[in-house]
Amino acid sequence: MKKIAIYKTLALAAVLGVSTTACEPGEFGDMNVSPNSPSTPNTAGFLTGALRNVGAMTTDIVPALYTQQFGDITYIEESRYKTINFSYNGFYTGPLVAYQNIIDLNTNPETKTTAAANGSNNNQIAVARIAKAYTYLWITDRWGDIPYSEALKGKADFSPAFDTQQAVYNDLFKELKEAQAQFDGGKAVVGDILLSGNATRWKKFANSLRLVMALRLSKADPAKGKAEFLAAMADGPLTSNADNVKYTYLSEANNEHPLYNNYITTNRKDYAVSDVFVNYLLKTKDPRISAIAERNINLQYAGVPYGVFPAASKAQDVSLAASSMRQQNSAANVLTYAQVLFSQAEAAKLGWISGDAKALYEAAITASMQQWLGAAATTTAIADFLKQDGIAYKEASALEQIATQKWVALFYQGNEAWAEWRRTGYPALTPASKPLNASGQIPRRMAYVATEGTLNKINYDKVVSTQGPDTQDTRVWWDKK
C-alpha cells in the first residue's frame, strides 16, 4: 500500500507540475541514483580507454610514409608532405588526462581506497606513469618543445607554456625510472589491455623506453645519453621476443587493425609497401619480405612508386602489406627486443657499453627475423643472410649498417623509424618527386596545430623564437646534423 501511495503522489505531482523535492531525505531510497553514473570514477575504465590510443600511435601511417616504408597508391599528398600542421590536442584531452586522473585518484585520500579496488595503488600509479611517459615521448619526438610541466591542469591553466624538449626528456627519464621501481606485490592492475597488468613486463617496457631515449641523445648530449643508457641496462630492458610489447586489435569493428579497416572494411587500399623498401629487401634477399609485403596480381613483389606525381599505380599491381600483419585482430608492434638489441649494438660501437657490436648487430637481425618469420627463420637462412656483402658487419660502415637494418626491423613502427632516420641519417632517402612543402625535403618535425598561434599566442610566439620557425624543416633538439 505504501508503494501505491508513493506512485499516486508522483503521478499527481507530474500532472500538477508540482515539485517532489521537498520529500523527506531517503524516502525514495536510491530511486533517483543512476547505476550508469557512478559517483566515483572507475580507474580501470580510464586505463582501458587510454591504452586504446597506443595502437593508433604506433600504427600512424604518416611517419611511415616519411621514412618510405609505405607509399600512397592513389592520393599521394602525404607522401609529398602536403600536411604541415598536425594536432596533438586529442592526446592531451584524451589519454594524458586519463592517466593523470588515475594517478590523482590513487593518491587522493578521499578516492584512493575505491581506486585500489581495481588493483594496488602503487601498481596502478606505476602503469599510468609509464603509459603517460610513453605518450609524452611520442608527442615530443614529433613536435619538439611541447606543453608539459604546465599541461593537464584543466581550467586552472588554459594557456600552458612550452617546455624544451631537453627538459621534457630529463623529466621522462626520472618518471620512467621511478615508475618501474614503484611496483609492489599487490594485485595485478585491472583494465590493462596492453600487458595484462604484468609488473615485470611493465618494468622492462619502461627500462627499454629509457634505453631508446638515451640513444636519441647520441649527438645532442652524448654524456647524458651514455649515463642514462647504462642506468637503463642495469635496471633491465627486454631480453627476448617473448618480451615484445604489442597492441593487439580485436575481431570487431570498433577496435580493428587500421590496415584491415583500410583494405577490407572500407576497401580503399590507400597504402602499399613502397618501392624503396621492397627493392631494398629484394636486393638483400631478405626473407622477411614474405611477412611484410604481399605479392601483386602477377605474383611478384612490387612496391608502389614512392611519392611520384601523378600516381599511376593500381592496388592490384603493387605489394600491399602482408596479409598476416593486417587481419582484423592483428597485433601492432610497440617496442621490440630487436630494437633493443640494435640500440645496444650502436651503444657498443659508440663505446657507451662494453660488448661486441658485431655480435649484438647479428643478434638483433636474428631477433628481427624470428619476430617476423617465426619458425621459418631457420638458422641456415639467417646465417646466409648475415654473410651477404653489405649485410656482413664491417667496422668502417657499422653505424650505417645498424641504422639501416633497424629501419627494416621497425617496419610499421613509423614514429620510431622516423625518429631513428632523423637522428642517424640512415638509410639515405631521396625526397618525393615534386614535394608539396616549401623546402622540398623530408620533414624533420610536425608543425603545431594552427590554433596554438591564436589560443595560446604568447607561449606559441616564445617557443617559435627559441626552437625555430614552426615548419617541417626545423629540427627538434636531439636531431643534430
CA 357/CA 354 separation, integer angstroms: 9
How many other C-beta atoms are found inside a 10 Å radius of the C-beta of residue 231? 15
pLDDT of residue 374: 96
Tens-binned pLDDT, residue by residue, of the chain (481 aa): 444 443 343 343 443 344 444 445 455 666 666 766 666 778 999 999 999 999 999 999 999 999 999 999 999 999 999 999 999 999 999 999 999 999 999 998 777 767 766 666 899 999 999 999 999 999 999 999 999 999 999 888 899 999 999 999 999 999 999 999 999 987 778 999 999 999 999 999 999 999 999 999 999 999 999 999 999 999 999 999 999 999 999 999 999 999 999 999 999 999 999 999 999 999 999 999 999 999 999 999 999 999 999 888 999 999 999 999 999 999 999 999 999 999 999 999 999 999 999 999 999 999 999 999 999 999 999 999 999 999 999 999 999 999 999 999 999 999 999 999 999 999 999 999 999 999 999 999 999 999 999 999 999 999 999 999 999 999 999 999 9
> Please, what's the b/e burial string for 172-204 (b: 16 or more CB within 10 A of its CB; e: otherwise)?
bbebbbebbebbeeeebbbbbbbbebebebbbb
The secondary structure of residue 301, as a DSSP letter, is -
What pLDDT is recorded for position 372? 98
- Please name the helix (run of DSSP H) or strand (run of DSSP E) that holds residue 12, with its range, or none: helix 2-16
Q: What are the Cα distances from residue 345, in Å, to 129, 340, 356?
A: 29, 9, 8
What's the rounded Cα separation, in Å, for the pair 155 and 171?
A: 24
What 3-state class would DSSP assign to 163? strand
Q: In the chain, how many H helices and how many E strands? A: 20, 6
Compute how many other C-beta atoms are within 10 angstroms of the C-beta atom of residue 137: 21
The reported pLDDT for the residue numbered 109 is: 78
CA distance 449 to 288: 37
Closest C-alpha to 113, from 126, 124, 127, 100: 124
Rg (CA), the chain: 26
Amino acid 477 reads: W
> Residue 379: which of 370, 391, 388, 392 has the closest Cα?
370
